Amino acid sequence: MEENKTLATELLHEVKASAKRWFIIAIVELIAILLIVAGFLWYITLPVEEYTETIEQEATDRSFNIVNGGDFNGGQTEGYEKLQEKSNSETEEVVKEFDDAQ
């Protein structure tokens, strides 16, 4: 009978030590999760720096420069289509209109 009490108390001590270890592990995991959430909240509230950059280019030989957008369809701009529709005598006038529009 004495051996059973010793075995039972020994098992209880092992269970108690094991439970204490699992409790410490759970607390450490909870702290890690809270730190991750806090870090994410801090990250999404950081200010965002936005800037714009102006690029100037000159068109030569009646070519058209397109930088970051513009009406560009299949290699031709809207102004280029106008040039194709006009006769050769009106080409200079259209080029001047196009340059003034920029």
Secondary structure (H, E, C), the chain: CHHHHHHHHHHHHHHHHHHHHHHHHHHHHHHHHHHHHHHHHHHHCCCCCCCCCCCCCCCCCCCCCCCCCCCEECCEEHHHHHHHHCCHHHHHHHHHHHHHHC
Q: Which residue range forms the structural domain that includes residue 17?
A: 1-49
pLDDT, averaged in runs of 10, over the chain (102 residues): 76 93 97 98 90 70 57 54 57 74 70
pLDDT at 15: 94
pLDDT at 98: 75
- Name the residue type at position 96: K
Asked if 40 and 20 sit in the same domain, the reply is: yes
pLDDT at 38: 97
pLDDT at 53: 77
Which residue reads 């699992």 in tokens? 22
Asked if 20 and 39 sit in the same domain, the reply is: yes
Asked if 45 and 66 sit in the same domain, the reply is: no
pLDDT at 26: 98
Number of domains in the chain: 2
pLDDT at 85: 60
